[in-house]
Structure formats: C-alpha cells, structure tokens
Structure 1
Amino acid sequence: MNEAIHPLAKKTVVWYLAVTSLVLILMMIFGVIMLMNQGEMIRITPQWFYKIMTAHGTGMVGIAALGGTAILWYFLSKYVKLNPAILIVNFVLFLTGVSMVLIAIFVFDFSDGWTFLFPLPAQSAKMYGAAGAVFFLSGMLVLGIGFLILYMYLAARLTAVYGGLGKALGWDIIFRGKKGYGPPAAVVATAMVIITNSTALLAGATVLAASLVNIINPAVTMDPLLAKHLTYAFGHIFANCTIYMAVIAVYEVLPEYTKRPWKANKVFLIAWNCSTLFTLMIYTHHLLMDFAVPKWMLIIGQVFSYANGLPVMVVTAYGALMIVYRSRMQWDFASSLFFLSMFGWVAGAIPAIIDATIVVNHVMHNTKWVPGHFHTYMGMGVVAMIIGFMYYFNKTEGNQEHRGIDTFTIALYFAFFMGLVGSFLYAGGISAPRRWAEHLPQWVLSDQAGAVSGIFIVLAAIIFTARFFSGLRSVGSKVPYPKKSAAS
C-alpha cells in the first residue's frame, strides 16, 4: 500500500479514476458513431457529426490527462509530501470546464473541433450565436487554469525537496559530474511534465483569451498564423504529456513485480532532458503544409520529430524489456497492460515519424493516417497504462485478484484495437480524409471495419470499468504496512 499518500488524496484519486473510466467509454462510443456514419451503417446530420467530433477530440485528450494526473499524484506522494487540496481544486475546475464545453457543443451547437483555430470561433459565433463559442473557449480556459495551478504547486514542492526543477531532472549528474543515480523516475517525469505542459497551457491560454476578446470586440484581431502556432503548441504538447504522466506507473509498478529496481542512471536522465526540449519544439510538424511558415521551422519540425521518438521511448521500452527478462514475474491485469502499453507507445510513434517527413506529410497529414497514429499511441499506450493502474490501485489498496475474464478482456481490447488502427492507417494509405462527415464509396469499407472493431473495444472498456468498480469495494480492507515518512 502507498501509505505516504494522504487519505483524502487517495479518495480523490478514486474519483479521478471513476470519472476517467466512465468518460472514456462515452468518448469511445462517440468515436464508433462517427465511424458508423462514415461507413454508411447509420445516418446522422453533418452538424451532429462535427459536434460529436469536437466532443470526442477534446474529451479524449482531457480525460487522458485526468487519468495521468491520478497516476502522477499517487506515485509522486511516495517521494514528496503533497497537499490533497490542490488535487481537489484541479478536479473541481476540470469538471467545471468540461461542463462548459459540453454545454457549448450540445446546447449551443459549437462544432469547430478541438483546434478552435482562429478566427473560426468568431465565425461560429456569427452563425449560431456567441454563447457556444464563449462557453467552449471559457471552458477550455478553466480546464487549463486547473492544470496550471496543479503544475505550479508541484514545481514549488519539487523545488523545496530537490532544490529546483533542474536538479529534479538530474542536471547535477549530467552536467556537474555528481556520482550515483538521479531522483526517482516519478520525480524526473513530473519535472518534465511541469516544464512542458505549463508552456503548453500558457500558449493555449494566450490564443483562447485572444479569441474571446475577438468575439466580444471584432476590431481586436491577431495574426492567424501566430494563432495556429499557439494552438498546436498547446494541443500537441498537452496530448504528448498524457503519456509522460501515465508512464510513471510503468516505472513504479514493473520494478515491484520483477523485484528489480529501475534506476535513474545518466542515460535515463539525458533521455528525459532531451525529450523535455524536443517536446516543446516538434509541434511544428503540424505546420509542414503551411507555406508561410519559415523553412527553418519546418526543418526543426521534421528533424526533431524524428529525434523525439528515441530518447524516452527507447529508454523506457528497452528498460521494460530488460527489467522483465527472466524475472519470473507475476503476469496479471496490471503487469500485462503496463508491458503491452510499451508496444502501443512504440507502434504509435512509427507512423507519427513517417508523417513528420515533409514530402510524406504533404500527402498524408490530412488523411486518416494521423488518427491511426494517434489512436495507437493513445488507445494502446496511454489508456492501457491508465486501465492497468486502475487494477493495480484496487489490488494494492484492496484485495482485487486477477481472473480469467481479465485475460480475455485484455486480448479482446488489444486485438480489436489493432483492427481499429489498422483500418485508419489503411484508409490513410488510400487518401481517405480525416474530419469529413461523409466518405466516398471507396473509403466506406475501411470505415465499416473500424466501426466493428470499435464496438468490441467499447465492450472491453465496459468490462474493464465494471471490474474496476467492483474492485473498489475491497479498497481499504488491507491492514496497512508500517508507515514510511515521505520527504517534506
């Protein structure tokens, strides 16, 4: 049991996971509805398609961030004393922001996509009224404020305990020749997320605030290309950081199962520092088709998108293989999903790196190739880590045990997720566009294959969630181990 975490924080983590699991199912259902419409299996209006698409894209990344935050807080509490009030404040602001976003979409017909590219919100306001755009942009701001408060607090705590974010990233070992190992992997990953996601949130807040001002006073405008840079800097970094939070569970749990430590050696620390820098730069691969972007920025987008796939991903995936090799570890729900999530991360990065090649990007970026890469990374990477943590939490804090239904559900989930992402990548290969409500006949078969796969994925997610909620009844039933004091 994690006796270092505050009891109130532990209860809040349960709420985080409960909301995450339920919203994941809803977002998956939205995804299936879109595929069924594109595959001519059902018919919804284009207006409803784009409303669902907006909710699906925004909600999936947001809820992955919520689940990743639960993982980060739970394990970081072992090394740093944390105030549960901050976790609760973030949760309340998250729910408030989500409510505003849903009202904007389903009450006031906002359907501009998660990207809310300037000046689309203002144009939407002219067509459907300002309420939808204002609710959506304000809701996103509230969400961002909640996470920014969380990261500023965590930055203060790491500074108090480790002497600054640089030392939390192991700079004294990398640059000053200090011997030994760096801070725990959970601390290193948290420092990286604080730096990158705070930058992303500030970029997002800037363009959100500017768009709100433009709606209120159209005479106040901003450069659309600058707005696009800020928007994608926010969206790409924030989405990337979901896995950098969730992977903390892999670093903490696999050593527990294998009885082998996962030490933050110099190579590990260099990899995380490189990824900190690269993650801030590579959003530019979303702009490779924009002729107005300076060529040097496009080169950065390509080169460092290649480079970013190596440091942390390779170190983590290789480390997971080495720590598991001949360990005779116990394979259960948690360990299986954490190990398989390494495959999802690596497999998702490969089509992303291909797409980051400028000549390929010009042809492939606006096709379903991109959701193919992202769903691999998100569904078989981030979500697998979160679901694995849900089981681990119930097992560690209670007495939930692995059953045959769990093995079946894991196989069901990954088999049909391979079918889903395979249909996306194939559709990209035949130039099926993304974000289109209606498809040509030659694209329909891949949509139908994706929809059928999606139905079975939803079934697996429902079973995962049912097992999680049934396991919650045992949480708190264990006799705690003697307490170990956390760093203060």
Structure 2
Amino acid sequence: MESSIHPLAKKTVIYYLMTTSILLIFMMILGVIMLLNQGEMIQISPEWFYKIMTAHGIGMVGVAALGGTSIMWYFLSKYIKLRPSIFLQNFTLSLIGIILIVIAIFGFNFSDAWTFLYPLPAQSAQFYGVTGPLLFLFGVLILGVGYLIMYAYLAARLIKEYGGLGKSLGWDYIFRGKKGYGPPPAVVATTMVVITNSTAVIAGAIVIIGSIINILIPAISMDPMLAKHLTYAFGHVFCNATIYMAVIAVYEVLSHYTKRPWKSNKAFLIAWNASTLFTLMIYTHHLLMDFAVPTWMLIIGQVFSYANGLPVMVVTAYGALMIVYRSGIKWDFASSLLFLAMFGWVAGAIPAIIDATIVVNHVMHNTKWVPGHFHTYMGMGVIAMILGFMYYFNKKEGSMKHNHFDTFSIALYFTFFTGIVGSFLYAGSMSTPRRWAVHMPEWVLSDQIGAISGIFVVLATVLITVRFFTGLKGVGKTT
C-alpha cells in the first residue's frame, strides 16, 4: 500500500535539500581552494589549509548524509506512516552540530581532519585551547545523536510494520521459502542503513566521549589502536550509509519513469543482506598499514572489501540497465543524473578495490589515489543521486520541467568531475601524498588540472542549485 508523505515532512524535505545544496557549494569551493594552493595558483598558510581540509572533509560527509536522509524519508513515507517530528528533530540537531563544528574550525583553529584521530584533539587543545576540540567533538556527537534517535524510531516502525528487521530485510523469502517478492527496495535499504549506521554511530560516540574525557582529564587515556578502530568503524560506515540511503532514489525514480516496478527478488534481497554484514567489517582496510592489527582482521579487511563492492552495486547497476532497456523512458534531469550515478558508483568502487589489496595499500593508501576513488563514488555517485532527487522532488511536488539548460548543467558537471577524479587518480599513481598543504614541482600539474576542473564543477552545481530554488516556488503551492 502506498501513502502520501505528511505535509510537514514534505516541508522538512525542502529544508534538508536547501541546506544540502548551499553547503555543497561552499564545501566544493573549499575543495577548489585547496587544489589552487597545492597547484601554486594561490597561496594560503598551512594553518588555513588544514582548517579548510577539516571543514571540507566532514562537511561533504554531512552534505551526503543530509541529502541521503531526505531521499530515504521521502520514499519510505510511501510505504510506512512516519512521524514528521522525528525527521525535523534530526534536521535541527544536525544543524546545531554543523554550527558547532564550523565555529570550532574557523573560530578556534581546530584542524585535526574529519577523522579527529585520538590523541590529536588533546594535542590540539595544548596549542589552541580546549574550546575548539570540545566544540568540534560535541558538534559531531550531537549530529550523531540526532541520527541515532531517527534510526531507533525507524527501527521501531519497521518492526511494527513487518514483524522484525529480519523480515524487512526479506528473510522470509531467503530462508523460509516464502513465494513472491520481498518488501519494497526502499524498505530493504532503510533496514540495512538502520542496522549498520546505528552500530557506526554508537562506535563513534564511544571514541568521541573518550576523547572529550581525555581533553578534560588528561590522566584518563584510551588505547590509540582501539580508538582508531572505533573512529573508522564510525567514519567509514557512516560514509557508506549515505550512498545506501541515496540509492533509494534510483529504485523509486527509475521505476516511476519506466512504469516498471523494481521488484525485490531473492537475488536482490541476498545482495542487500550480504552488504549489511560486509559494510560492518570492511572498515579494517583503513588499518592495513598498522602492523599491530591482528593478521586475521587485515585479511577480513582485504577479502570483504573485494566482496562488498559486488552485491548491492552489481544488482543495482544491472537492475538499472534492465529496467531502462526498451522502456521508452523519457530522459530528463532526474532520470539522467540517477542513471549516470550508477556509473559513478561502479567506477568509484574499482580504485577502492585496488587500494584494498595489501601490497598496493602499503604504497597507495596515503596518496591522492584514495580521494580519487572517494570523489568518484561520492561526487559522481551520491551527490549525483541527491541532485537528481532535487529535480525529481520539484517535478513531482511542483511543476518543474526539463530544458536545454539542464542538459548543459549535467554535461558540465560530469565532464569536469571526471577531470577532478582523473587528476587525483593520476596523482596517486605517481605517489603524490594526500593531506599535504605544499606539493613538490612534479605534482603541481595534476593539482592545477584538478583545480580548473573543480571551478567548472562549482559553476555547474551553482546552476543546478539556482534551478532547484526557482523550482521550489511551484512546490510551495502544494505544501
């Protein structure tokens, strides 16, 4: 049974998307500034570079999370009646967390990167005072609490509606031989996100609270390796969850455009169940260079990083091709971006799988190869899905129509985003380090190519955002 989204939730989707689009432009500008500095086209101090790097890293994850959440809630509302106050509460706590993080970075000089690896916050406190690290950590903690509350509520609704999270993941069809098709893809994906990201946020809360205590009471310390595990169990899974939320738009929108239902067959359900398990395990590929980590854990990091790239990604990419094939689909901004996002997701996974090989990882992991893969699946995958949903939302809830301006924006965005990720991957292949404010002469050319490409990507994103805001006028009449 399908139901309509609550009017308050619809307005809250607009709040999410407005915030997402504005933050996206600012975060992209910060990324371009870093590339311009590395490419010796402008000059900023190392102190400012690392503040910008910190803001860009955590800011882009926040952008993806806000956009992905709006997609998940909007489409899940078709199948389950949801209380919009929870949705609004998560937005409010996210906004508070973002404000605290921005104040910490630019007001109190916190520049320990989005990973805030222990004991860096405490060491930063010795140089710049405790205010910056505490504001940053409390900001991330508040943001995480907002998501944990939302996931707990969604888990309760899924359990009530389907009789358990196992059933909303399709276990009746996988293990008990139930005939037909499982729960809608939006329900299956939401269940996966609730399980994996709740675990991630709890891991993050533990290490954040430990860091806060260490700053206030230095005598109380944590094991640095345990802290690193908790940090990456939080950060890596949280980043992954953004694409699993955003991909719901691919299922729903392409199904709507082709008038072909995207069915949850057994292969689809098995893929999502496998990814639920694998996503919780593969953060260990960030620890392949840590000799103190048990060998069995490093093997898990390598093997399951290979495996995780296949289940959902292959099923979704193949499904997108099949649902579109001979469907007579009308290509517009939403359908084009969501279809192209499949390319971004698949293309981004390839260098990630290469980097997950231990012998390669030892050479490549601390190079620009890693932001190369990350920007591919994030910028050309997750963000493309969010931008596509922004157009779809205005079209579905308002009266927005595709024009040649939109076609130009898509071409501009994907052409020059390919330039960014290409420059990163090329730089990584010749061992250009990531997170360095100053580069050697032989690395500068790739930085300049990335910077110029980035400027055009920002321009394309501004054009897309302007179209989104102008389209909201029609939506306002229906909300």
TM-score by length of 1: 0.97
Say whether residues 1:140 and 2:140 are aligned partners: yes
Q: Which residue of 1 aligns with 2:23?
A: 23
Q: Which digits, 9 at most, give the CA deviation of each residue in 1:114-146, with x for residues without a partner? A: 011010000000010000000000100000000
Supply the AA of the counterpart residue of 2:121.
Answer: P
In structure 2, distance between residues paired with 1:173 and 1:411:
42
**Secondary structure of the equivalent of 2:281?**
helix
The answer to whether the Cα contact below 8 Å between 1:309 and 1:349 also exists between their aligned partners in 2 is: yes
Supply the AA of the counterpart residue of 2:33.
Answer: I
Q: Which residue of 1 aligns with 2:433?
A: 433
Say whether residues 1:181 and 2:196 are aligned partners: no
Q: Which residue of 1 aligns with 2:469?
A: 469
The answer to whether the Cα contact below 8 Å between 1:195 and 1:276 also exists between their aligned partners in 2 is: yes
Say whether residues 1:378 and 2:378 are aligned partners: yes
Say whether residues 1:46 and 2:46 are aligned partners: yes
Q: Could you say what the CA RMSD is over the residues aligned between the two structures, in angstroms?
A: 0.9
The answer to whether the Cα contact below 8 Å between 1:399 and 1:477 also exists between their aligned partners in 2 is: no
1:34-183 paired onto structure 2 within 5 Å:
34-183=34-183
In structure 2, distance between residues paired with 1:422 and 1:46:
25
Deviation at 1:342, TM superposition (A): 0.2
**Secondary structure of the equivalent of 2:280?**
helix
Q: Which residue of 2 aligns with 1:357?
A: 357
In structure 2, distance between residues paired with 1:3 and 1:220:
52
Q: Which residue of 2 aligns with 1:485?
A: none
In structure 2, distance between residues paired with 1:396 and 1:256:
11
Q: Which digits, 9 at most, give the CA deviation of each residue in 1:279-330, with x for residues without a partner? A: 0000000000000000000000000000000000000000000000111110
In structure 1, distance between residues paired with 2:153 and 2:59:
25
Taking only the aligned residue pairs, the percentage that are identical comes to: 75
Q: Which residue of 1 aligns with 2:297?
A: 297
Supply the AA of the counterpart residue of 1:93.
Answer: L
In structure 2, distance between residues paired with 1:243 and 1:352:
15
The answer to whether the Cα contact below 8 Å between 1:397 and 1:477 also exists between their aligned partners in 2 is: no
Aligned length: 478
Deviation at 1:395, TM superposition (A): 0.3
Say whether residues 1:316 and 2:294 are aligned partners: no
- What are structure 1's unaligned runs of at least 5 residues? 481-488
Supply the AA of the counterpart residue of 1:120.
Answer: L
The answer to whether the Cα contact below 8 Å between 1:80 and 1:157 also exists between their aligned partners in 2 is: yes
In structure 2, distance between residues paired with 1:62 and 1:283:
19
In structure 1, distance between residues paired with 2:279 and 2:451:
32
Deviation at 1:423, TM superposition (A): 0.0
Q: Which digits, 9 at most, give the CA deviation of each residue in 1:399-433, with x for residues without a partner? A: 00001000001000000000000000000011100
The answer to whether the Cα contact below 8 Å between 1:285 and 1:356 also exists between their aligned partners in 2 is: yes
In structure 1, distance between residues paired with 2:133 and 2:469:
36
In structure 2, distance between residues paired with 1:373 and 1:309:
13
In structure 2, distance between residues paired with 1:384 and 1:442:
32
In structure 2, distance between residues paired with 1:413 and 1:327:
26
**Secondary structure of the equivalent of 1:107?**
helix
Q: Which digits, 9 at most, give the CA deviation of each residue in 1:54-110, with x for residues without a partner? A: 000000001110100000000000000000000111011001000000110000000
In structure 1, distance between residues paired with 2:305 and 2:62:
23
Supply the AA of the counterpart residue of 1:171.
Answer: W
In structure 2, distance between residues paired with 1:476 and 1:134:
39
Supply the AA of the counterpart residue of 1:163.
Answer: G
- What are structure 2's unaligned runs of at least 5 residues? none
In structure 2, distance between residues paired with 1:422 and 1:433:
15
Q: Which residue of 1 aligns with 2:262?
A: 262
The answer to whether the Cα contact below 8 Å between 2:278 and 2:307 also exists between their aligned partners in 1 is: yes
In structure 2, distance between residues paired with 1:263 and 1:37:
49
1:197-208 paired onto structure 2 within 5 Å:
197-208=197-208
In structure 1, distance between residues paired with 2:105 and 2:148:
24
The answer to whether the Cα contact below 8 Å between 2:3 and 2:77 also exists between their aligned partners in 1 is: no
In structure 2, distance between residues paired with 1:184 and 1:290:
41
Say whether residues 1:412 and 2:412 are aligned partners: yes
In structure 2, distance between residues paired with 1:136 and 1:397:
37
In structure 1, distance between residues paired with 2:210 and 2:164:
32
Supply the AA of the counterpart residue of 1:387.
Answer: L
In structure 2, distance between residues paired with 1:163 and 1:78:
18
**Secondary structure of the equivalent of 1:475?**
helix
In structure 1, distance between residues paired with 2:140 and 2:258:
41
Say whether residues 1:348 and 2:324 are aligned partners: no
1:3-18 paired onto structure 2 within 5 Å:
4-18=4-18
In structure 2, distance between residues paired with 1:212 and 1:393:
40
In structure 2, distance between residues paired with 1:373 and 1:253:
26
Deviation at 1:476, TM superposition (A): 4.8
TM-score by length of 2: 0.99
In structure 2, distance between residues paired with 1:63 and 1:136:
17
Deviation at 1:3, TM superposition (A): 5.9
Supply the AA of the counterpart residue of 1:16.
Answer: Y
The answer to whether the Cα contact below 8 Å between 2:29 and 2:458 also exists between their aligned partners in 1 is: yes
Deviation at 1:261, TM superposition (A): 1.1
